[in-house]
Structure 1
């Protein structure tokens, strides 16, 4: 038989089995699970003293049973300690508890009466079942297989023949149930992690979409100004008399630079605007359109009061006016969504270098609530904050002491007439 015809042995299962055996006997312990009383913190505070008292009581019970079986007091004390030790280590060190349990099952086997199903005291037998049940629900499947196999050794060698089948069946049932519990816990953790990842991805995508939309709107505003620069630079030599040749050439260079900038901005817009969005031909709104928007909101059934103050829309730059309009628009939408029927007050005041915008609604009236209204995912506040920050301003949003809600933005600007 040639060397080429020899069967290829897959060593992967053997390696996995050896590593699992090393982990079972000498490896690091399984990570501690969630405390049993985590949902009830008041009871969890008393878990440690109650557990110590229970362990002490179990120690005395085991000591009494071992003494009744005729063991000397020192050996009875040792066996009682070996019975209780695994239960004390079980909450934080399940594998260590199982190792101590196997050692106790192999050692504590003397002078058992003939009418007992095995050579162990009832506290040791019940404690061993509890330890195995916890361990098989906390370890991986290869380690679980070794735990069951090694635990079966004292059962096969020390339990009476007529009781072995029942004990082995109980051990197998514990292994199956524990594996199902562990798999179910891992599936829930993976689902929770995937859900959290999806929510973060949705939030990130919403922020990127909002930034892209803001960039598209700012492109339209800046492109308008660049067009004006180009037109004014081209027509300046014809509107002025006796323009020197160097000045005319400089005007032509300014117009050419403006045209080149417009071409580059159109290319940038092509990257920002998807095919499904299509070109936006409608003019962008500004502060002059706030009255029409508020009036439309009133017709929709939301009581809105507009306090625009002495705002000169022509003095406020177009990007700042657009951002203020969008912030008021989103603030009214949030008020209609979360506080239907509540009175809303919109305040817009322009200082020397800052435009203050505030949308404040009164507490929602339960009788006017709309049960079918969608609550949204909270991306509106993100969009408003992005608009304010993109202009170097500030944005705050939060509940009021009276139960209402307010969003406030301060947008800095440099007046088009040169005043700060």
Structure 2
């Protein structure tokens, strides 16, 4: 059965069951069951006052203890019994904030036990502190329990009233008990309604946020498909057909056209996967294969076919210590570094160094000064989103990232990506 917002599972379990079974379960809950969950503290809206609630409450309980002890002593009870009755009067109030049902049980026990030597002019056999404390406990508890438990709670509380209160006062006490039960049930139902409304409102807001995110993702996917994918398709087609449209194409140039077409097709494949993710309503983890350190050689070969003189120095990943997220981040950093080197230092030699240490992976992409000196960006603001993306990948793993020109006129990006060498994961 689906659990409705704001309704306790215990209440739902009583639905559509035989009335006798419901009554017996409620009786067991009333006498021996788990306590009702504590409500919101009265001073929760005033945290400065809430810090004084505990000491003030203890002082009030101590004062109530001495008042009860004095009253019991005036009634002629021996000191040990007076102390016991005073403790039984105070104990329910101490348990009330955290354990309201336990406080009610202690209250019923006190009403049944603390009944000796009351003067003839008192309406009942209890001291004023015990009578007032019992009213407070019952008023709090009836607002915390569901109706079957509430019915048993009122019936059991009425037992000492019917047996110990004088006949002329029973109707008034029972009327007070009934009024407390009705008001408490109304308060509880109002609280459950407010909780259900708040839960429904929160659910609606989350659904609206989810729909807004999906709409934005769909818009981004549409723009990327209409603009980026279209141009990448044209690049792939033109690169594949260029050797057939041109005459006497040298073999190196033809190979470069082939490499351009292959890179464009790979980019289109990644683009289609990304568009599928953006258009999907699923927010769970993606299970599509992701590149890692083993794909560095293939990426470097593609760069070489595109005319970038690249040297790869990648140490072995002994035992697969580098976890997948770190390997993916390193791959993307090298990919962006090679793209930046080809864009800003065409023809310059590039060296890629990837080393797996005991607890971190070092990545460095360094290019020599280009023959044709161009304005190489020195800051992330000048470099667009490339350097920013690399820095974000490194810092998201708790690593470091640096990028900047070298004294000889070259450029280098360096990242240190930490991981747990024992578990293979951060």
Indicate whether the TM-score tops 0.5: yes
1:182 alignment partner, one of 164, 183, 188: 188
Matched, 1:147 2:172: no
Matched, 1:234 2:259: no
Taking the aligned partners of 1:170 and 1:152, their CA distance within structure 2 comes to 11
The number of residues matched between the two structures is 288
Residue number in structure 2 paired with 1:320: none
Q: Is the 8 A contact 1:21 1:146 kept in 2?
A: yes
Taking the aligned partners of 2:49 and 2:277, their CA distance within structure 1 comes to 59
Shift of 1:218: 2.0
What are the within-5 Å matches in structure 2 for residues 260-279 of structure 1?
none
Taking the aligned partners of 2:113 and 2:147, their CA distance within structure 1 comes to 28
Shift in CA distance, 107/390, structure 1 to aligned 2, threshold 3 Å: same
Shift of 1:12: 2.4
Aligned-pair RMSD on alpha carbons?
A: 4.1
Q: Is the 8 A contact 2:89 2:130 kept in 1?
A: yes
Matched, 1:112 2:137: no
1:101 alignment partner, one of 91, 104, 107: 107
Taking the aligned partners of 1:256 and 1:388, their CA distance within structure 2 comes to 22
Matched, 1:212 2:218: yes
Q: Is the 8 A contact 1:87 1:131 kept in 2?
A: yes
Matched, 1:16 2:41: no
Shift of 1:170: 0.8
Shift of 1:210: 2.5
Gaps of 5+ in 2: 1-15, 281-342, 345-374, 394-410, 413-426
2:34 alignment partner, one of 25, 28, 31: 28
Q: Is the 8 A contact 2:108 2:157 kept in 1?
A: yes
Shift in CA distance, 35/351, structure 1 to aligned 2, threshold 3 Å: farther
Q: Deviations over 1:313-371 (max 9, x none)?
A: xx79xxxxxxxxxxxxxxxxxxxxxxxxxxxxxxxxx954986279xxxxxxxxxxxxx
1:356 alignment partner, one of 381, 385, 388: 381
TM-score between both structures, scaled by the size of structure 1: 0.57
Shift of 1:81: 1.6
Shift in CA distance, 202/354, structure 1 to aligned 2, threshold 3 Å: farther
Taking the aligned partners of 1:151 and 1:225, their CA distance within structure 2 comes to 81
Shift in CA distance, 182/389, structure 1 to aligned 2, threshold 3 Å: farther
Q: Is the 8 A contact 2:235 2:264 kept in 1?
A: no
Taking the aligned partners of 1:64 and 1:260, their CA distance within structure 2 comes to 91
Taking the aligned partners of 1:149 and 1:28, their CA distance within structure 2 comes to 19
What are the within-5 Å matches in structure 2 for residues 35-184 of structure 1?
35-184=41-190
Shift of 1:99: 0.7
Shift in CA distance, 48/255, structure 1 to aligned 2, threshold 3 Å: closer
3-state SS of 1:192 partner = helix
Shift in CA distance, 149/218, structure 1 to aligned 2, threshold 3 Å: same
Gaps of 5+ in 1: 1-9, 275-314, 317-349, 359-386, 396-418
Residue number in structure 2 paired with 1:223: 230
